[in-house]
Amino acid sequence: MTRKEIIRVLEEIADLLEFNGENVFKVNAFRNGANSIRRFEGDFELLVEEKKLNSVKGVGTALQSVIHDLYRNGISSLLSELKKELPEGIHELFKIKGIGPKKVKQLFSELNINSIADLENGCINNKLITIKGFTQKTTENILAEIEKYKENQKYLLLSDALKIVDNIKLKLNDVKFDAFEVTGELRRRREIVSKIEFLVAGDFEKISFTIKNVFNNVNKSEKNISVADFQIPIIFHYSIENDFTRDLLITTGSREFLEFYKIDEFSSSEKSEHQIFQKMKISYHAPVLREKEFVESNSRVPNENELIQISDLKGFLHFHTNYSDGMNSIAEMVLSAKEFGYNYFAVCDHSKSAFYANGLSEDRIFIQNKELTKVSSENSLNILQGIEVDILQSGELDYDSDFMENFDFVVASVHSS
């Protein structure tokens, strides 16, 4: 597990311990441990490997053991046991923003609410206001958060979906496909996706047999295999080698793109999409240019070499380091920047009012500046010192105007109501 994932698990353990009515000191040990790791500015991975994490203030020997298991194995026996002890279904209540362990305990003890469906029903029927501390406004806020949660469950960020793709490819590594491609929204690089789709060709019986053995919730039809093991559906579309390119074009979509150019009506056994577009006498559209918005805009179709590539990026503005809530040191970020071929970047850690993210005081900003100057000179890289400065409730910024002159780059953000 990564440092960020470990912090999340420690906080989850603290929530479950609190729900079970555990000793407050034990609960706080996990919360404080998570915060200590979040604020730690040294080499976290090295300390874990050397089993010296208990040298960090707030991390005891027992907690170090839990963290080591998470880091090495990705699992925690303590978390597994806590989940087993929970009333069935109640764990999902912790996913609703604004409901902490104490409120979950109240809801379960007084109204026997142990699922999001129960919670929603309780809100709609005004049952929650019978519990001390729950008002009509609380009920309305919870209902709004439930709607957000339900909507969010229908989608995944592109980055998270790509991780699942890697996982699936690994599981199907031994399958001999005649052809295998990611298609649909993922191929079009949608920022959020509602399903993960593949187009496959080969021995369908062997392919479907393997998929059924690898995954749990599998449904097979004449045209595809669907898997329901993840947050969003996974679909394997069947094709044959001669039709593969055409089927890839069609399954890539979007629906509006296919309808606009009447591609569904076109029959072709061409070996490349470029040849199909040429045969249809239309300009080639890269997958990212096949969205409804682009079709409706009637814009000129850019050539492939006009599309922005990773190699076109010459610098990176606004990222965090482990001075605040980032995962990596300045030196590590510089090393990565050099690997990408960047010429410059701007460090933009949180300002002092963002205490939850280990925001930087004025003194720590000067300390960071010294390190930036040193690392920059050692690596011949232009490093700008920026800051993500909070806009306070008063409308003022987190530092006064004179102090802001110390920064090369400023991002202003609202982190409160």
Supply φ then ψ for residue 48, to 5 degrees.
-65, -45
Q: Write out the two tokens for 24.
A: 């407050």
Q: Write out the two tokens for 168.
A: 């699936």
Beta bridge mates, 317 = 346
Residue 397 contacts residue 390 (beta carbons within 8 Å)? yes
Angle at the Cα of 316 from the Cα atoms of 310 and 319, rounded to 5 degrees: 125
pTM greater than the 0.75 cutoff? no
Q: Residue 213's CB: how many other CB atoms inside 10 A?
A: 9
Region 243-270: mean pLDDT is: 89
Give pLDDT, residue 289.
Answer: 94
| Contacts of 157 by beta carbon, 8 Å cutoff, 6+ apart | 191, 192
Is pLDDT at 1 greater than 80 in this prediction? no
Beta strand pairing call for 382-390 and 409-413: parallel
327: alpha, beta or left? (left if phi > 0; alpha if psi -120 to 50)? alpha
Ordered structural domains, the chain, with CATH? 1-85 (1.10.150.110), 89-153 (1.10.150.20), 157-305 (3.30.460.10), 311-413 (3.20.20.140)
Residue 340 contacts residue 313 (beta carbons within 8 Å)? yes
Beta bridge mates, 234 = 196, 227
Taking only the tens place, the pLDDT of each residue in 156-166 is: 999 999 999 99
Taking only the tens place, the pLDDT of each residue in 363-404 is: 999 999 999 999 998 988 899 999 999 999 889 999 999 999
Q: Residue 348's CB: how many other CB atoms inside 10 A?
A: 24
Give pLDDT, residue 303.
Answer: 86
User: What letter represents residue 278's amino acid?
Assistant: Q
Residue 249 contacts residue 275 (beta carbons within 8 Å)? no
User: What letter represents residue 162's amino acid?
Assistant: L
Residue 324 contacts residue 361 (beta carbons within 8 Å)? no
